[in-house]
Amino acid sequence: MKHTLQTLPLSNSFAKLPGDFFSQVAPTPLQHETRLIHFNQAAAELLKLDPEIVQSPEFNEIFSGNQPLENAAHIAMGYAGHQFGYFVPQLGDGRAIMLGETTNSKGGKWEIQLKGSGMTPYSRMGDGRAVLRSTIREYLCSEAMHGLGIPTTRALCITGSDDKVYREQVETAAVLTRLAPSHVRFGSLEFFYYRDKHDLLRQLLDYVIEQHYPELQDSDNAYLALLEEVIKRTAKLIAQWQSVGFCHGVMNTDNMSILGLTLDYGPYGFLDSYDPRHICNHSDHHGRYAYDQQPEIGLWNLACLAQTLLPFITEEAAKHALNQYAPLYHHAYQQLMANKLGFEQHDDSIEELLTSLLSQMQLNQTDFTNLFRSLCNVERDNDQPHASLRDMFIDRDSFDHWFKAYRAALQTQAKPDVARQAEMKRINPKFILRNYLAQAAIEKAEQNKDYSEIDTLMQLLQNPFAEHPQFEQYAEPPPEWAGEIAVSCSS
């Protein structure tokens, strides 16, 4: 059975917690006429929403924050966080308001949140709004990550209006309807720990375990078990990021999900040419969140999370749990990269092949995504590398030497070509959300209210491993003008 807006079962377990956890605040209506910019039918399926609801005149009004959804809670969550290494005691949902949560017929729980719906008590000096540019970026990337099989928040729709929003320049307002099983962050626990409100901290921990980790309730120490599980999920998540060249850009503890989801898409980016020191966030002047720093920052953030649990677990237990992060991450990353090269299991010889390849890719500024996708077509009994592969390297002699060793390894350690190539194409995407592609969609939307490019990108990004021969140009490396694109914390 598909739901309408009137029959959508809405509750909010988080709103039943004490008022210290959130503030009740209604969305601020937009002044100009609202319009639907894009609707994601795949996300609507999560809520069991009838796609025909977009025809309803109230759809835009509800998901712009102009009209209340029946039984909505309308709360903004409070949290703290370490931002660029410095603790900020109060942050919170400065431009996001939760409507409530719904549970679908499969038992999946989804919180519904309006991002960009106006000021809240946590807005500080902000206006509580989001701009069309940043909203399109988050909408596209959350679906791109889901298409890649990486845990993430989802997005139901974008609505917008001609309301003016002031950033570096005047832009127009938009509202993103974001979905997640939970929006609780590491910073949510820090919020109470650093206020010495350990009773409330315990209540939040019990809530998280009851709602999202019920299998941990019978553990000898459920809080320690929770830490261990979050460490596992975070290690795997960041290994997945690294394996596709994804750079988050602002890995503050308030942007780290207690469920191990990719959360808060601001100044993100995917690697074009392989550069381990790539910094996607122009606000990150010291490279704290560079691509090659993400695994270590993951551990740093988990240490901040472990700190909040010290009222309930021993320091020794916390350290032992944190010590598991590095081997968990390295195992997951090495296995993913071995699979990307076409091998079922990682070993030292494959590690040597990978290290050599990445070194050459860095020196030759080889496109990360296209190189691994091209390797999917290698035939292990053909000793001539594909011309398209050789053309990715300036130093072709060094590449030929590597290719000879790679082909020899395929002959002894990999499946026959047909099976291996198919498996490689299921882990090496052909399409990623390159910044220039997102920018092209943004410019069409801003200048002409033309949302067709969003349609095209959603089609590709929700199935990034398929060939899509009619969209071959979307797999190309960025044009020269893409170097002028700058994304920052305001993105």
Where are the extended beta strands (E) located within 190-240?
A: none
The 10 Å CB-count burial string (b at 16+, else e) for 266-279 is bbbbbbbbbbeebb
Q: Residue 55: what residue type?
A: Q
Report how far residue 182's alpha carbon sits from residue 186's, in angstroms, rounded to the nearest whole number: 12
Residue 419's contacts (CB-CB under 8 Å, 6 or more residues apart) are none
* Residue 98 · residue 40 · CB < 8 Å: no
User: Looking at the DSSP assignment, which residues form a beta bridge with residue 351?
Assistant: none
Residue 260: CB partners within 8 Å, gap ≥ 6? 151, 230, 232, 233, 234, 236, 237
Phi/psi zone of residue 249: left (φ > 0), alpha (ψ -120 to 50 degrees), beta? left
Contacts of 266 (CB under 8 A, 6+ apart): 134, 138, 249, 250, 281, 487, 489, 491
Catalytic residue among 93, 163, 254, 272: 254
Annotation marks residue 292 as catalytic: no
Is residue 203 within 8 Å of residue 18, measured between CB atoms? yes
> How far apart (Å, rounded) are the C-alpha atoms in residues 369 and 149?
16
Q: Pull the structure tokens for residue 274.
A: 């392989």
Residue 140 vs residues 201, 268, 308, 436: alpha-carbon distances, Å: 34, 12, 34, 13
> 220-237 as b/e, with b when 16 or more CB fall inside 10 Å?
eebbbbbbbbbbbbbbbb
Q: Are strands 96-103 and 109-115 parallel, antiparallel or unpaired?
A: antiparallel
Q: Report residue 294 as tokens.
A: 């993400």
Residues 6+ apart with CB under 8 A from 413: 343, 349, 350
Least Cα distance to 28 among 137, 117, 98, 103 occurs for 117
Name 36's bridge partners: 159
* Catalytic annotation, residues: 254
